[in-house]
Every structure is written in structure tokens, then in C-alpha cells.
Amino acid sequence: MALQLGDIAPDFTAETTEGTIEFHNWLGNSWGVLFSHPADFTPVCTTELGAVARLKGEFDKRNTKVIAVSVDDVESHKSWINDINETQHTTMNFPIIADPERKVADLYGMIHPNASNTLTVRSVFIIGPDKKIKLTLTYPASTGRNFQEILRVLDSLQLSAQYSVATPADWKDGEDVVISNAIKNEDIPAKFPKGHREIKPYLRMTPQPNK
């Protein structure tokens, strides 16, 4: 059965380009982004790993650890990293999991037989400090992932984890947010002292609480 939102992210022990990790221990109290690659030395994934390396500081600001997984071994990964650094004009600064036996791929349902019997699809999992899965995304092999969107989702998830709000379509950090329907009108002033707008009884907006 496919992993669903709210499920505990499966734990595992694996070799990576930065040594052996136990996944849950490695995450600690951080958020995590686990994203998969069909194989080493694939063109789109080379650009993606470079993009994440350049964004590492943004993930750090959000108390988020990033880790990739590919079905090749550590030596292959290390050779690939040389190409990533050269072609993407960056320095790899996060680990890549070696998964030659596809243990992690199988645990996370990254093999989609109708797409390929052997290669992982390009999956993304955002995992909270409680080790629960907060987001899943699956991309076809031909489409590079948008990591600015991953950062936007992290901002939304972390905001809603702290306050009784949700974020509207196309929301960006700093914009107004939606007050949860669980909050009664009479409780809004105490919870949201910046004020609010009632567009409909079920659609109430307030400035982002932590800005």
C-alpha cells in the first residue's frame, strides 16, 4: 500500500556519500526532504542536485535536512558528484543514499511498474520532526522538479504547524493566510491581533501571524 500523508516515514539504515546513516536518527528534530533519482549520471537529476546544493542555505533556515537517493552505489555517487559540481557550478553539500538493492525505493514505493520495472520515479517526501509524512510529490522522469515550490510548501507546513491557519492558492511567504474554520469569530481577535477580513463566513483572511 502506498505511503499516505500522516504515515510514519519508514526508518532505514543505509550507506551514503557522507557515511552510514540511520534515517530517523539522522533527521533528529529537523524537518526532512527525501527525493529520489532514477539512476546516477542522468541529465535532469544532475541539474536538480545542483539546484538543491545552491539552495542548501534556504533549507537550513527552515531547519530542514535534504537527502537524495539513487539506486547506484556510493562510488558511483561520488563520481557523479564530480560531474554535478563541474556542470552546475556548485559544491554538493548534502548526502546521496546508495540503494543498489532498492530497499529504500521499495520502502517508499518509488518503483512504479507501469513507468519502469527497475528505475525509481522522481519522488519527493517532506517529513516533519514527528517523522510523519507531510507531503508527497511524484514527477515523471522528463520533468525537473521545482525546488522553489518545495520551499514554499515547507513555509506553509511550518506556518500551519505553529498557527491555526492555512495558505491560499499561489500563496508566498509574507502574504495573507486563511484562518482555520475551527476558530470561532469571537476568538479571532485574541489569536490574530493583526486583524482579519471576512470574505465569506467560511473564508476569513488575516496577515501572516509571524511576519
Domain coordinates in residue numbering, the chain: 13-145, 163-206
Q: Please give the average per-residue pLDDT across 18-41, as a whole number.
A: 96
Torsion 109-19-59-155 (CA) sign? positive
Q: Please give the average per-residue pLDDT across 71-99, as a whole number.
A: 97
Count the Cβ atoms, other than its own, within 10 Å of residue 197: 11
Q: What is the pLDDT of residues 132-152, one digit of tens each?
A: 999 999 988 889 999 999 999
pLDDT of residue 134: 98
pLDDT of residue 175: 97
Q: With contact defined as beta carbons under 8 Å apart, do 139 and 119 qualify? A: no
Helix (H) / strand (E) containing 65: strand 64-70
Shortest CA distance to 68 belongs to which of 117, 115, 105?
105
- Is residue 115 pLDDT above 50, yes or no? no
Report the C-alpha dihedral over residues 24, 26, 27, 30, rounded to 10 degrees.
150
H-only helix segments in 28-146: 43-54, 56-61, 74-88, 103-107
- Is residue 43 pLDDT above 60, yes or no? yes
> How far is 68 from 125, CA to CA, in rounded Å?
10
Fold of 13-145: Glutaredoxin (3.40.30)
**Active-site residue list:** 45
Q: Which residues of 46-62 are buried (b: 16+ CB within 10 A; e: fewer)?
A: bebbbbbbebbebbeee
